[in-house]
Each structure stands twice: as C-alpha cells, then as structure tokens.
Amino acid sequence: MSLPSPTPRFAPPPQVADRPRLELRNLRKRLGDTAAVNGIDLAVAPGESVVLLGPSGCGKTTTLRMVAGFLQPDGGEIHLDGVVASTSAFALPPEKRQLGMVFQSYAVWPHRTVAENVGYGLEVAGKKKAEIEAGVAEVLDLVQLSALAKRYPAELSGGQQQRVALARSLATKPSLLLLDEPLSNLDASLREEMRFELRALQKNIGLTTLYVTHDQDEALVLADRIVVMNKGRIEQLGTPEEVYRTPASRFVGSFVGIANLLEGEVDAVDRAAGKVRIALDAGDRLWSRAPARWLADAAPGSRATVLLRPEDFRLEQPQVPDQETGIDVSFLSESFLGSHYELKLQAGATPLRVQSRRRGSFVDGRTRLWARPGSAWVVA
C-alpha cells in the first residue's frame, strides 16, 4: 500500500510551481460567542478546485465570506495572488478583489435581463458596449443560455437562474471563483447533472475554485482536494480518495461516506508495510492499514478502531482472504435499492451497514462477513 498518510493540517498543493492563487494563514473569526472560524490554513493553487466540506454551522460560509471581503477576520491573513487582501486591521473591499461568486440564493437581479445580469461586471469595469456584448455572448454560450439572453429572471427555471448566476460570475474572468452551496436549491436530479457540468467547465477553462458544500457526493465529484471542516477547524485536507479511504479521524470517516467502526486489539505490527493485525471484538482478525503517526506508537495489546465501508464487505469468503473465520453477524433489516441491497446487520453490539449485490442467506438470522483484503483502515 503506497497511499500517503493524511496530514491533518497544511498540505502542499499539487502544483508547487506557481504561487498559490489564494492563501489563508491561521484565519480566525468570532461571530457572537461562537468561534465560527478557528485557525484555518489553506493554499489554493491556480487551476485547482478545492471544496470546503463540513456539517451545518462549521464555518464554511464564514470562511468564504472572509475571502470575498464581506467579513473581516479577527486574526490571520488572506492573500490573493501573493498580495495581502485581509488582515484583522485591513480589508480590501470586495469590488477590488477581482473574484467571482455564485450565491446559494443565486442572487440574480430581478430587474435586469439575463444579458444585463451577465454583463454587469464588464459594465462596471467600463468596457465598451461591443466588448460587453461579445463577453456576454461568450459566457452565455458556455452555460448554454444564449437563447434566453433577453428574458427576465422571473421567466427562468431554478436551474436556468443558477446558470445565469454562474455566467455572471464568469464574465469578468475572475482569478478565483467562490461558490457557496450553489446547487442546494435545485432538485436532486438537476443537482446531480449540474455537478458534472460544473466539474467539466472547471477543468475545461482551468478555473480556480473554492467551493462550499455540506453534500459529500458533490464534494467527491467536484474536488481536486477536499477540506473537511468541523467546528471552525480543518479536520483533514486531501484528495477525495484520501479523505474517503484514509480519513484522519472518526469524524471525517463518518461524515464522508458511511462508516462501519469495529473495535479491536492490536496483535501484530508490520511497520514496513504500514499495517497492523487486529483482533476484532466481534471475532476474527484482520490486517488493516494505519496512519504513519499512529503506527509509530502502536504495539501489540493496544486498542484500535477499524473503519470499513459498506462496499468493503463480502458475504462469502474471498479467494485470498484477509481474515480466517469471518465476522459473525445477526440480521436486522434489508432494503432493496435497485443496484444493490442495503443490509443492516449487527456484530455483537456494533451496528453494521453492508452493501451487497445479492441477497444474503441467513441461517437462524445469522451469517458471516469478510472484509475485502486491503480495505480496512485504522482511524485514530
């Protein structure tokens, strides 16, 4: 296993050649008596798509609004293209930051047509009429709204308004695009479609984006890197795969995807391979990868928690088993979800959620489960 171990704090951006488009240094903000943002470090490289992911109230919007310049930090610094934009003593006004922003409510101006909305940034910048028209046509084409340029927002569907908001933010060719839950007001199927469209757009035009969401699926699709936040702090920063497969904490493990957490005791340590063998309380033993820092202190006899995803279980013994006897589980309930069955099982007192292509066969309501080899991960 060569997956890098997650670093909970600052991670260098993938492309180190260019200086970061956005850099947050120990950013802090109190709102009322909550520390809404409590020391955040982050660097966003040009062309990169970073997603802030976290539960409601964890400070995502607050962070984004500080970057935009609508809120002033209490501590720390914000740098845009290497230049200070906000400190606790100074804040460049939003209009001077050359950013784009898509709002959760769209904030499309009801008194202006689609074209007037989209062209506003160019108009403010003092561009000539012909230039504005060309710019508007170009972005409207990009979001496939050219036919609706003369309409008023009230005559558009929610999804179309969303596209207008996006086009408006792109028209000025911003150096960084901020998006605050831009898809949360759309219905489920449209949201899914827009997700992929946004990602394609971002890749095609090499847009740098900072995207806020509390929807993990959205984050996985859209991110080059995900910043998982909790209570104003960064819990983990890494690629979607890292965050999903090697979460830095129980919180991250349960917030991104469904987590089955099994307790056990270490009975062998293989530091060279970055693995430990764990005797599960629910029975059987398995080999699990573990974070390097945790591994350093691990010794036989210490306690450990293992994370397994619902899709990491097998209902029959695999060809090359990781385990010996399998985990003995009892049946609780089963739902059919089209592509697979979702089983709710119990191993001892620990509830488990398992995905299976086939219906399980249970004897007296019991069966055995095996983990897919190499899928287990120790969470600190």
Ligand X SMILES: Nc1ncnc2c1ncn2[C@@H]1O[C@H](COP(=O)(O)OP(=O)(O)OP(=O)(O)O)[C@@H](O)[C@H]1O
The correct pick among 38, 61, 172, 216 for binding Mg ion (CB under 5 A) is 61
Give 238's strand partners: 226
How many other CB atoms are found less than 10 A from the CB of residue 70? 13
Could you tell me the smallest distance in angstroms from the CB atom of residue 142 to other proteins? 6
What is the residue type of 31? L
Instruction: List residues near other proteins by CB under 8 A.
Output: 21, 46-47, 68-70, 80-81, 83, 90-101, 103-111, 120-121, 124-125, 138-139, 142, 154, 165, 168-170, 172-175, 178, 204-207
Comparing CB distances to other proteins, the nearer of 92 and 190 is 92
Could you say whether residue 70 binds ligand X (CB under 6 A)? no
Could you tell me the smallest distance in angstroms from the CB atom of residue 146 to ligand X? 33
User: How many amino acids of this chain bind ligand X (CB under 6 A)?
Assistant: 13
Could you tell me the smallest distance in angstroms from the CB atom of residue 181 to ligand X? 7
Comparing CB distances to ligand X, the nearer of 32 and 338 is 32
Judged by CB under 5 A, the stretch of 31-39, 56-64, 164-172, 189-197 that binds Mg ion is 56-64
Report the C-alpha gap between 34 and 20 in whole angstroms: 29
Instruction: Tell me how many degrees the CA angle 157-159-165 measures, rounded to the nearest 5.
Output: 105
Are residues 136 and 119 in contact, defined by beta-carbon separation less than 8 angstroms? yes
Could you tell me the smallest distance in angstroms from the CB atom of residue 97 to other proteins? 8
Comparing CB distances to Mg ion, the nearer of 36 and 85 is 36
Could you tell me the smallest distance in angstroms from the CB atom of residue 213 to ligand X? 8
Residues in the chain: 380
Residue 126 region by backbone torsions, left for phi larger than 0, else alpha for psi between -120 and 50, else beta: left
What is the residue type of 70? F
Which of other proteins, Mg ion, ligand X, none does 338 bind, CB closer than 5 to 8 A by kind? Answer: none
Which of other proteins, ligand X, Mg ion, none does 260 bind, CB closer than 5 to 8 A by kind? Answer: none
Are residues 178 and 172 in contact, defined by beta-carbon separation less than 8 angstroms? no
Beta pairing, strands 377-379 & 303-308: antiparallel
Could you say whether residue 214 binds ligand X (CB under 6 A)? yes
Strands (E), the chain: 22-31, 34-44, 49-53, 75-80, 83-86, 99-102, 176-180, 209-213, 225-230, 233-238, 260-270, 275-280, 285-289, 303-308, 313-314, 327-336, 341-347, 350-356, 366-371, 377-379
Are residues 297 and 289 in contact, defined by beta-carbon separation less than 8 angstroms? no
Could you tell me the smallest distance in angstroms from the CB atom of residue 111 to other proteins? 5
Could you tell me the smallest distance in angstroms from the CB atom of residue 306 to ligand X? 30
Could you tell me the smallest distance in angstroms from the CB atom of residue 61 to Mg ion? 3
Comparing CB distances to other proteins, the nearer of 163 and 289 is 163
Could you say whether residue 124 binds ligand X (CB under 6 A)? no
Could you tell me the smallest distance in angstroms from the CB atom of residue 87 to Mg ion? 23
Comparing CB distances to Mg ion, the nearer of 55 and 82 is 55
Report the C-alpha gap between 258 and 254 in whole angstroms: 6
CA torsion 258→262→267→273, rounded to 10°?
0
Q: Which two tokens stand for residue 117?
A: 């909305």
How many other CB atoms are found less than 10 A from the CB of residue 103? 14
Comparing CB distances to other proteins, the nearer of 64 and 278 is 64
Comparing CB distances to ligand X, the nearer of 62 and 162 is 62
Which of Mg ion, ligand X, other proteins, none does 134 bind, CB closer than 5 to 8 A by kind? Answer: none
Which of Mg ion, other proteins, ligand X, none does 121 bind, CB closer than 5 to 8 A by kind? Answer: other proteins
Residues 3-62 binding ligand X (CB under 6 A) are 31-32, 34, 36, 54, 56-62
Q: Is 269 exposed, middle or buried (0-12, 13-18, 19+ CB in 10 A)?
A: middle
Q: Where on the chain is the footprint of Mg ion (CB under 5 A)?
A: 61
Q: Where on the chain is the footprint of ligand X (CB under 6 A)?
A: 31-32, 34, 36, 54, 56-62, 214
